[in-house]
């Protein structure tokens, strides 16, 4: 029995050290990210801020589809949403040719269904340069945003 005692002590010390190393990896739980329901940063393309509903509708007559939000009694009009900054620049160029100055707004979205759809449309948007397709993609994305995200809020 005495000849096994050093081996047992060394095995216990190794087990304790390995246990400490494993538990130390999980001490900082703030760095652990969840896979589902995480927030994703997306870029919204805003084409204007208006003081009244009438002014907004008058200035957005040439737009096929847009959404708006009301903040501090102002109407913020958005015409595109993307997760990819290169796609944002493509959308911004398109609306610039229509005569709309645009501004980038970044928001966090915590809706996995919408993010998955947005990523699919971003793939399509990345591959096209056709303005009609860009406009159609923007309209579909905004529609899905209204359906999936705006209803939550």
Euclidean distance between CA atoms 7 and 13, whole angstroms: 10
pLDDT in tens, the chain (153 residues): 677 777 888 877 878 777 777 777 765 555 554 455 578 899 999 999 999 999 999 999 889 999 999 999 999 999 999 999 999 999 999 999 999 988 999 999 988 999 999 999 999 999 999 999 999 999 999 999 998 887 665
- Give the per-residue pLDDT at 50: 94
- Give the per-residue pLDDT at 26: 66
Please give the backbone phi and psi of residue 59, each rounded to the nearest 5 degrees, phi first: -80, -15
- Give the per-residue pLDDT at 21: 76
- Give the per-residue pLDDT at 22: 75
- Give the per-residue pLDDT at 49: 93
Token digits of residue 82: 């993307």
- Give the per-residue pLDDT at 20: 78
Which residue shows structure tokens 């200035």?
59
pLDDT mean across residues, the chain: 86
Please give the backbone phi and psi of residue 133, each rounded to the nearest 5 degrees, phi first: -70, -40
Tell whether pTM > 0.85. Answer: no
82 touches 125 (CB < 8 A): yes
């Amino acid at each position: 029995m005495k000849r096994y005692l050093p081996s047992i002590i060394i095995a216990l010390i190794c087990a304790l050290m390995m246990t400490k190393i494993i538990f130390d990896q999980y001490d900082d739980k703030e760095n652990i990210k969840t896979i589902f329901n995480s927030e994703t940063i997306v870029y919204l393309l805003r084409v204007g801020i208006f003081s009244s509903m009438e002014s907004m509708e008058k200035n957005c007559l040439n737009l096929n589809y847009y959404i708006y939000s009301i903040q501090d009694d102002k109407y913020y009009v958005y015409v595109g949403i993307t997760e990819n900054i290169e796609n944002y620049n493509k959308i911004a160029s398109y609306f610039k040719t229509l005569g709309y100055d645009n501004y980038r707004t970044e928001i966090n979205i915590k809706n996995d269904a919408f993010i998955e759809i947005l990523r699919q449309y971003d793939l399509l948007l990345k591959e096209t340069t056709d303005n009609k397709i860009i406009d159609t993609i923007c309209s579909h994305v905004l529609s899905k945003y209204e359906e999936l995200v705006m209803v939550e809020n």
